[in-house]
């Protein structure tokens, strides 16, 4: 397959690197120094204590690529529209666009560029961290969960699964991918966003009575909204899992925490904002999530 991965960060490097073993892969990034480094030395992934070099072709523009079979988005969600707009040359009539980004609702932006039958959404259990330009620690691996918004009449997901599995991933096709996205979302719209607003580590959320009260409120609203969309979850089980994540990672920090700390814009609009949009669609109120979204944006706009 001819594949373009947009974003040479941790996840883009992991997927672009591995997929380049058996595919024609282009890794797009706006940072020329990163592109030059990758083209000179390859993408170097630290995996199981060993440095492994992979060789996708790094570029700064889709003009150098032409139309591709698959585009994988690995930029921050707030940059998705710009990233696709600036690289439309690679999106043809048969091109599929795939997102494994955090949060939900990414299909709303992607549908501006391809029809719904060529949108693939999902989640990844792989994780990584950038150690230096072109050098990424592949910290853990797991399933790559994928699905579509409409019936897969072309059986494209099976082809994609085979391609990913050949390159070392474990791709799993889901008939109801939205349910999986919601299940992953609950931790992000409660624990993650609160660590950002409060500027605390993950352990604080389970330890502090007031923080845990807010967590419970956010989860309750999100569960009610998902139920309004016809997707049912066990609120008690979700809270149990979130408390476990908090307690087992006492010194951990989330990306929202780091973004707010360092004066960067966050992905809150596709995390808590996704719950707000869904609440308006199904008519189930989510006032606490609305407040959190405004709080985060207010913090983003503070002077550094």
Whether the per-residue pLDDT at 222 is higher than 90: the answer is yes
Bridge-based pairing state of the strands 24-28 and 57-59? parallel
Whether the per-residue pLDDT at 233 is higher than 90: the answer is yes
pLDDT band at 303 (very low <50, low <70, confident <90, very high): confident
Of 37, 88, 34, the residue nearest 61 (C-alpha): 88
pLDDT band at 139 (very low <50, low <70, confident <90, very high): confident
Give the CATH class of 178-300. Answer: mainly alpha
Say what the pTM is: 0.89
Evaluate the CA torsion angle 225, 231, 235, 240 in order and state its sign: negative
Stretch 101-112: mean pLDDT, rounded? 93
Q: Which sequence spans correspond to the domains of the chain?
A: 2-175, 178-300
pLDDT digits (tens, 9 = 90+) for 241-291: 999 999 999 998 899 999 999 999 999 999 999 999 999 999 999 999 999
pLDDT of residue 304: 63
Q: How far apart are CA 113 and CA 57, in angstroms?
A: 24
Stretch 222-227: mean pLDDT, rounded? 97
Whether the per-residue pLDDT at 301 is higher than 70: the answer is yes
Interior/surface letters 252-281, b for 16+ CB within 10 angstroms, e for the rest: ebbbbbebbeeeeebbbbbbbbbbbbbbee
Lookup result for tokens 């669609």: 281
**Both tokens of residue 221?**
């609203």
What single-letter DSSP state applies at residue 191? I
Whether the per-residue pLDDT at 302 is higher than 90: the answer is no
pLDDT digits (tens, 9 = 90+) for 22-78: 999 999 999 999 999 999 999 999 998 899 999 999 999 998 899 999 999 999 999
pLDDT of residue 189: 96
Of 56, 54, 47, the residue nearest 6 (C-alpha): 56
Whether the per-residue pLDDT at 295 is higher than 70: the answer is yes
pLDDT digits (tens, 9 = 90+) for 141-181: 889 999 999 999 999 999 999 999 999 999 999 999 999 99
The answer to whether the CB of 76 falls within 8 A of the CB of 100 is: no
What single-letter DSSP state applies at residue 77? G
The answer to whether the CB of 128 falls within 8 A of the CB of 10 is: yes
Give the CATH class of 2-175. Answer: alpha beta
Least confident of 14-23, 136-145, 187-196, 287-296: 136-145
């Amino acid at each position: 397959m001819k594949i373009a991965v947009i974003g040479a960060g941790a996840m883009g490097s992991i997927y672009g690197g591995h997929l380049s073993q058996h595919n024609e892969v282009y890794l797009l990034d706006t940072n020329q120094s990163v592109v030059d480094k990758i083209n000179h030395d390859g993408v170097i992934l630290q995996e199981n204590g060993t440095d492994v070099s992979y060789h996708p072709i790094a570029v700064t523009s889709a003009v150098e690529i032409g139309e591709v079979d698959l585009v994988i988005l690995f930029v921050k969600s707030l940059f998705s529209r710009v990233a696709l707009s600036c690289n439309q040359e690679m999106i043809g009539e048969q091109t599929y666009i795939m997102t494994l980004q955090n949060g939900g609702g990414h299909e709303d932006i992607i549908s501006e560029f391809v029809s719904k039958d060529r949108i693939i959404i999902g989640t990844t259990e792989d994780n990584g961290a950038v150690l230096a330009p072109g050098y990424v620690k592949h910290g853990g691996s797991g399933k790559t969960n994928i699905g579509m918004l409409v019936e897969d009449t072309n059986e494209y997901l099976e082809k994609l699964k085979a391609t990913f599995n050949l390159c070392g991933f474990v791709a799993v096709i889901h008939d109801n991918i939205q349910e999986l996205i919601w299940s992953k979302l609950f931790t992000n719209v409660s624990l993650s966003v609160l660590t950002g607003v409060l500027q605390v580590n993950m352990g604080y959320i389970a330890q502090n009575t007031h923080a845990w009260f807010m967590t419970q409120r956010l989860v309750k609203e999100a569960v009610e909204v998902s139920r309004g969309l016809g997707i049912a979850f066990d609120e008690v089980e979700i809270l149990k899992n979130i408390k476990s994540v908090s307690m087992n990672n006492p010194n951990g920090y989330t990306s929202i925490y780091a973004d707010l700390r360092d004066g960067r814009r966050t992905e809150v609009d596709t995390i808590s904002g996704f719950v707000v949009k869904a609440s308006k669609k199904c008519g189930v109120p989510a006032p606490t999530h609305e407040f959190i979204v405004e709080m985060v944006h207010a913090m983003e706009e503070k002077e550094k």
